[in-house]
Structure 1
Amino acid sequence: MLTSWLDWHRGTVREKCAGLGPGLSSAAPLPTSPLMSIGGVVSHLRWVEHYWFEVRLLGARDRAPWSPDDGDAEFRVGGQRPLADLLDEYDAQCARSREITAKLELNSSARTSGDAERPATLRWVLMHMAGETARHNGHLDILRELADGRRGR
């Protein structure tokens, strides 16, 4: 149930972006959130998949563009790249996350501690990612409506 729910939210990301006109994915129409673009959200989701499944659960090196000096770099990068490329990278990262999930038990503990306030198991990561992806689908709804008037369901 956890993986099915997360996959449904992952698929919704692509649906929210379907048919978006060229150039609209980089628009950041919210004055209080200048990095919040459709491309930025897709890039962010790609890199949080990488972080939770590869870095936290497997102990892999973090390859994300963020740094201590620029904690929002994935949003910045996402606003500058073609949406089709970002979506393909997101799909590939989700496939990698599925491979990792298939090899672990739900109670498998993370190999890296990360935030001591949030001890992680695969079960926790799946729940966290379902919530995070759902929340960002809401952002995509708003951004899409502002970009071209298309409304989500």
Structure 2
Amino acid sequence: MTTGSSPSVPSAARLDPPVDADEATMLSAWLDAHRATVHRTCTGLGARHAAATPLPGSPLMSIGGIVSHLRWVEHAWFEMLLLGLPRQGHAAADAPDAEWRRGTEIPLPRLLDEYGAQCERSRKVTARLDLDTPALRARSAEDPTTLRWVLVHMIEETARHNGHLDLLRELADGTTVR
């Protein structure tokens, strides 16, 4: 999404998934590419812009809020649902929209570090399981999902929020990600 003379994000590496790999490698690589895009989009962003909520219809949506939300979504799907672990730390159930509110309260570098650490935990979970491994916990009134489903869902979730990050970043300072 580049336009005219808008600056582009410098110095953050783009990850390109392989074009020929087994299914598990391909799914993991695509998810990692989208995770890396989160970091690339946030490179060089100041605190004021990271906490800004410029969309009147979405008063909690900030760049920091999206990063925080993605961190807790990773925790929910990989650790809580797949492994059956309890909710840990500051999780969304503590208060409505808690993960989104954290995005205006906590510095973006810390949120990105937390997100990166959570993604690493999710990678370790993925490495230990087969794609057909069912989740130990089911979502309400549904059969348990599999690791395959979680990976596809997380690709979709992260890609969708990367679109939001693109728009918020361009609104914030005119920067676009290539």
Q: Residue in 2 aligned with 1:144? A: 169
Over 3 Å counting, the alpha-carbon distance change for 1:118 and 1:134 in structure 2 is: farther
Aligned mate of 1:41, from 50, 61, 66: 66
User: Does the 8 Å contact 2:69/2:99 carry over to 1?
Assistant: yes
Q: CA RMSD in A?
A: 1.3
Q: Residue in 2 aligned with 1:7? A: 32
User: Does the 8 Å contact 2:67/2:103 carry over to 1?
Assistant: yes
SS of 2:102 mapped into structure 1: helix
SS of 2:92 mapped into structure 1: coil
Q: Residue in 2 aligned with 1:32? A: 57
Matched, 1:93 2:89: no
Q: Distance in 2 between matches of 1:22 and 1:52?
A: 29
Q: Unpaired runs of 5+ in structure 2?
A: 1-25
User: Does the 8 Å contact 2:30/2:155 carry over to 1?
Assistant: yes
Q: Unpaired runs of 5+ in structure 1?
A: none
1:71-82 aligned at under 5 Å gives the runs 71-82=96-107
Percent identity over the alignment is 61
Q: Distance in 1 between matches of 2:61 and 2:67?
A: 10
Q: TM-score, normalised by structure 2?
A: 0.82
Aligned mate of 1:66, from 83, 92, 97: 92
Which structure has the larger Rg?
Answer: 2
Structure 1 runs (4+) deviating above 6 angstroms are none
Q: Distance in 1 between matches of 2:91 and 2:47?
A: 24
AA of the residue aligned to 1:32 = G
Once the two structures are TM-superposed, the CA of residue 118 in structure 1 deviates from its matched residue by 6.2
Q: TM-score, normalised by structure 1?
A: 0.95
Q: Which moved more, 1:21-30 or 1:2-11?
A: 21-30
